[in-house]
Amino acid sequence: MQLDILTPEHKIFSGNVYGIQLPGIEGSFEILEHHAPMIASLGKGRMKILKDKSSTESFEISGGFAEVLNNKVSVLIEDAKAMA
């Protein structure tokens, strides 16, 4: 699925991924291919990009929104700090 992660200043990530784990305001959730359409509010926490089944990239975020539509995920956040 296509994933785009944007802040007001720049694009953090754009590409095809296996999935993404996000910190929702009521708990963490995961989006995989062909997820139902939705819009979700994000809280403070860890965002984990699942590039494939064995490769990941993590960021600490402070909140934002995620939209899923037609096998594309758009994540709009205030800022992100890469985690080791």
Contact partners, residue 51, CB within 8 Å, separation at least 6: 15, 17, 18, 57
Q: What is the chain's pLDDT, residue by residue, as a tens digit (84 residues)?
A: 999 999 999 999 999 999 999 999 999 999 999 999 999 999 999 999 999 989 999 999 999 999 999 999 999 999 999 987
75 in the Ramachandran plot: left (φ > 0), alpha (ψ -120 to 50) or beta? beta
| Predicted pLDDT at 53 | 86
| Predicted pLDDT at 37 | 98
**What's the chain's Rg over C-alpha atoms?**
11
Q: Which domains are delineated in the chain? A: 2-83 (2.60.15.10)
| Predicted pLDDT at 46 | 97
For 16, the 3-state DSSP assignment is strand
